[in-house]
Structure 1
């Protein structure tokens, strides 16, 4: 079973094999986590994203999908880009948010990576309530990681204390306890 960690901090500073980017469907950068990863990672990430857009992702990356690129100047080896769903009070999009985590972990495994750092996907500009996002993320990661034994570290990197507390509560609520 992979070790699960919570970190209050900046995802662009994580020394892991894979950093997960909460990307927009264009893959060409944006605000929040996406913009920070592109700025710190430099032009190599954007160049690979442009190549993906010129090829099989001409229409953009679908919500819940995941695709890997170089990490450029980030301390990670790769970036796995995933497009989170926009929160809707009238439509349950939880399965799409779960797909982001599941598919990012599968992409991490396909790269042969052993460690991965996730942000709180969809909780910024896409307005997903952080407590709900934390439950979905934690449950999906714990369920998916069981089938991917090569991944030995999954880190959630949370930008603020509220998100950190929500993810800590999500871990404490499940059968897995932080520190086990």
Structure 2
């Protein structure tokens, strides 16, 4: 019979173990408080059926890449409130990638640029679309006169062959061969 060595149990608990135990006990305690305080309730049948009562469902496509997966966007009072994959879409067959699954989040992000802005004296300032287009036009004219090869034109996987042709022709008339596709970036 083999002899098993028995070490005395240490009463010392490591820092990491203590933090894990503290986090677990806090979560259990908070869960108990929430459950006992009636802070949550069962959703009503109407809420489960449609939490956005006057919303309308609009079939659209995802613009994150060139695949064009199907999205059913739910719109309430002109605001996109949630989405689901279009189960009957011939390309995506009801699936979404991680980018497409959050298109509504991208659209509603607080970091989203919603209007033209320019940085002057270290501060961002809102400008009109007309002013923005005028500034871009002036800058393009300046670059074309100086050296057209300092400009690059970008295509997109979302454009048709005809639009891609026009982008290429515009770059040629501008005086540069610097054109690329957004998928290469």
Please indicate, yes or no, whether the TM-score normalized by the shorter chain is above 0.5.
no
TM-score (norm 1): 0.25
TM-score (norm 2): 0.25
Higher relative contact order (CA 8 A, sep 6+): 1
* Largest Rg, 1 or 2: 2
